[in-house]
Structure 1
Amino acid sequence: MNKKLLIIGFVWPEPKSSAAGSRMMQLISFFQSEGYQITFASACAKSDNAFDLLTIGVDKVAIELNHASFDDFILDLKPDVVLFDRFMTEEQFGWRVSQHCPETIKLLDTEDLHFLRRARQQAFKDDSEVTNHYLLNDTAKREIASMYRCDLSLIISKAEMSLLKNTFQIEDSLLHYLPFLVENISERHIEQFPEFEDRQHFLTIGNFLHEPNYNALLYLKETIWKGIKQQLPEAELHNYGAYASQKVNQLHNAKDGFLIKGFAEDVNDVMQQSKVLLAPIRFGAGLKGKLFDAMQNGTPFVSTSHGVEGIVDKTNQDFICDNADDFINYAVNLYQDESVWNAQKSLGFDILKNQFSKSEFESGFRMRLFALSEDLETHRQQNFIGQLLQHHTMQSTKFMSKWIEAKNS
């Protein structure tokens, strides 16, 4: 009999719109390869960009927040594993899973650390360093409590693993480093990519609803692009992304070569047409999917320390530019110098091969899941803080949900 996995999604996966959507599809692919029968449930409304999970054999179920119908649903399904997509879904549904299916393994996919992103965004607004004053926010308390209530949390970045272990003293037993899972790219496939002389223009891409992306777009418009355009008057910047609002579209200026292109149906196509990706990300967390898309398509990029966090350990790389002038000058040099362009292109392939091999990380995750399933009781006994947070006197989300449920009935 197939093992059952229930994924409770914060949103329905949109792999063409966001890195989070791509990440979710990678996890689904892994569990399918392990023989799991997968049900994806979400209380979120579907968008036109949502992937049709039925086409890959994943059942879709719409669920309600603060409603007893979920209790009947999970009792009937009896999953072996539940995967919470971000801590907010664990807050809403975790206590119901524990109450009705206490033997089910509970996994949390953080996507990125929401509290870290929030801390960096506020520090950026305050023009300040990210200190504990910013890190120890209310979101941190909620997100880390969720990690303790789960059996294992999937962390996408080495930098975030380090923060959780060193600053917040979370035990290794509750964390598992699982970055983007990248298929090996063959030399034959690499040889088919367009070369330096066959590409033109600059590119940026990212969901415009994501605040770090919108901030980077404004930074490009107001500061970066002017400096590049002065040195490369024939160049254009093609800005792609899902959910372009009126305020985004108003940034379009054909005369300046600053073009809002909107949703990209095929990210690989637009990457391979472009010569350089610009990603001046000034705050955020997690891994940046746009940089992985660039490396997988042989497209060199210019980014910031925040942008490359968890991807490049060395801070002395020329393509890591936190200063506007440095960013502009390196982007122009990369665009014009074929030897520099080819060197960074090769570096990108090396990074993917050596640091993000799908087969290597899937093997480690497989072993971790097996160990959990073999001795779940002992694992939970060692997580006393998690036991405290499961105790009924501390389950504020449970009683808030029941209050809302009673109020709505």
Structure 2
Amino acid sequence: MNANQRVLIIGFVFPEPHSSAAGGRMMQLISIFKKQGFKVTFASPAMDSDFMIDLESLGVAKKSIVLNCSSFDVFVKELNPTIVLFDRFMMEEQFGWRVFENCPDALRLLDTEDLHCLRLARQKAFKEKRLFSTDDLLIEDVAKREIASILRCDISLMISEFEIDLLQSVFKIDANLLYYLPLLLEPIEDSTIQNLPAFEERKNFVFIGNFLHEPNWNAVQYLKVTIWPLILKQIPEAILQIYGAYPSQKVLQLHKPAEGFHIMGRANIAQEIVKNARLVLAPLRFGAGIKGKLLEAMQCGTPSVTTIIGAESMCGDLPWNGFIIDDAQVFADKSVELYQDKNLWLKAQENGFEIIEKRYLKSLFEGDFVKHVLKFQTHLKQHRLDNFMGTLLQHHTLTSTKYMSRWIEEKNKKV
């Protein structure tokens, strides 16, 4: 066991595993550290929410921290963590230099979740009605911030092999700075599979996704305006249920029961909803990372129809648990076919179970991840010497971000 290991996680928000895949991902990381006997503290500048998990009941210390305030310096110096995990690059920007200054020997991990610059560059290209190019990344302001954060950290955890390749080919990031750690799942027991609702017991199409995430909102609009009418022409009695946390008024206004289009709001137990649906639709037109909603569909034995971006980096060379299609008419046609054809549906369901078994089981990654972290702690000095660009950026961050933050802190004292 590693009782002397103290992990500080600096979160963008306190984890909400039932609201987003990001919340579930964070709980997976906490679980790995706790299993190793590490002492875990989770700190965030975010407000508490009604849907955040009770960290203290899991043996995780919870701490509220303040942006641009030296109170964090006192806190982190006293805690003296051996490992600091930044939840997304924005937290590293805010607190990384303070960690470096007060705990220089702590191993700094960055959990990217997905590449924000990739998602935003794709979103911009989509809205400008043009094809995305990797050159878009080179002019994206967020890319400059995100890549700088990756370089300043000792290891960046990546959930997408596609994004690892992109970081190495476009930004020339050293492979030693990147570590592939996808969303991690427990094995699906045979008894669980046998107890899943059968094809005949399931009904309706479903979409599920947090509405604070722009790709999800865009996909719902695309469904409402384009794809769902094409499905209704072939199955007039069909029903599509849209679930998601934090629906805005503009989302709620899409609720049209007469058209079989139902805005259901937050899903209290998402897996119950997905496993009783016959098909998940996810026509994502921009985004990044791997999609928790599609992995959840596989866990529930529910086939899905998605786009190339939706399925990106998720199944490797294995067949998808449904169809991957970008064309709206073909998307609708294949959705109808999969909804109505039991044999095709059962084969798609089997494909989903195989993808989980071969690509996402926690047992495939957990041990190696812990060994990787411990190895880098042992050779941290040499690792940092080999990462000169990271050292250079850390130096300039300390002389720019540091004094900007100090200035803001002094300014706040006068308000």
TM-score bucket of the superposed structures, by smaller chain: over 0.9
Q: Note the C-alpha offset of 1:396.
A: 2.5
Which residue is equivalent to 2:409? 405
Which residue is equivalent to 1:345? 349
CA separation of 1:333 and 1:395: change in aligned 2, threshold 3 A: farther
Q: Note the C-alpha offset of 1:395.
A: 4.1
* Contact in 1 for aligned 2:274/2:297 (Cα 8 Å): yes
Deviations 1:366-392 (Å, cap 9, x if unpaired)?
A: 121111111110111100001101114
CA distance in 1 between counterparts of 2:237 and 2:399 reads: 60
Q: Which amino acid aligns with 2:329?
A: D
Determine if the alignment matches structure 1 residue 332 to structure 2 residue 336.
Answer: yes
How is 1:159-178 mapped onto 2 (pairs within 5 angstroms)? 159-178=162-181
Which residue is equivalent to 1:158? 161
Determine if the alignment matches structure 1 residue 126 to structure 2 residue 128.
Answer: yes
How is 1:27-106 mapped onto 2 (pairs within 5 angstroms)? 27-106=29-108
CA separation of 1:316 and 1:74: change in aligned 2, threshold 3 A: closer
Q: Note the C-alpha offset of 1:357.
A: 1.7
CA distance in 2 between counterparts of 1:246 and 1:139 reads: 29
Q: Note the C-alpha offset of 1:312.
A: 2.5
Partner SS state of residue 207, structure 2:
strand
Q: Note the C-alpha offset of 1:267.
A: 1.0
Q: Note the C-alpha offset of 1:48.
A: 1.1
CA distance in 2 between counterparts of 1:4 and 1:367 reads: 16
315-324 or 199-208, larger mean C-alpha shift: 315-324
TM-score (norm 1): 0.98
Which residue is equivalent to 2:257? 254
- Which residue, 105, 127, 146 being the options, matches 1:143? 146
Determine if the alignment matches structure 1 residue 273 to structure 2 residue 276.
Answer: yes
Partner SS state of residue 257, structure 2:
coil
Q: Note the C-alpha offset of 1:243.
A: 0.5
Structure 2 gaps of 5+ residues are none
Which residue is equivalent to 1:293? 296
CA separation of 1:384 and 1:300: change in aligned 2, threshold 3 A: same
* Contact in 2 for aligned 1:122/1:134 (Cα 8 Å): no
CA distance in 1 between counterparts of 2:337 and 2:275 reads: 19
Partner SS state of residue 15, structure 2:
coil
CA distance in 2 between counterparts of 1:124 and 1:380 reads: 38
How is 1:183-222 mapped onto 2 (pairs within 5 angstroms)? 183-222=186-225
* Contact in 2 for aligned 1:63/1:70 (Cα 8 Å): yes
45-54 or 58-67, larger mean C-alpha shift: 45-54
Over aligned residues, Cα RMSD in angstroms?
Answer: 1.3
CA separation of 1:122 and 1:392: change in aligned 2, threshold 3 A: closer
- Number of positions where the alignment pairs a residue of Structure 1 with one of Structure 2: 409
CA separation of 1:319 and 1:393: change in aligned 2, threshold 3 A: closer
* Contact in 1 for aligned 2:97/2:397 (Cα 8 Å): no
* Contact in 2 for aligned 1:302/1:331 (Cα 8 Å): yes
* Contact in 2 for aligned 1:305/1:315 (Cα 8 Å): no
Q: Which amino acid aligns with 1:79?
A: P
How is 1:210-249 mapped onto 2 (pairs within 5 angstroms)? 210-249=213-252
* Contact in 2 for aligned 1:388/1:394 (Cα 8 Å): no
Deviations 1:27-63 (Å, cap 9, x if unpaired)?
A: 0001101111111000011221111111211111000
Structure 1 gaps of 5+ residues are none
CA distance in 1 between counterparts of 2:133 and 2:270 reads: 36
Q: Which amino acid aligns with 1:322?
A: D
CA distance in 2 between counterparts of 1:45 and 1:393 reads: 27
Which residue is equivalent to 1:382? 386
CA separation of 1:346 and 1:192: change in aligned 2, threshold 3 A: same
Deviations 1:151-170 (Å, cap 9, x if unpaired)?
A: 00001101001101111111
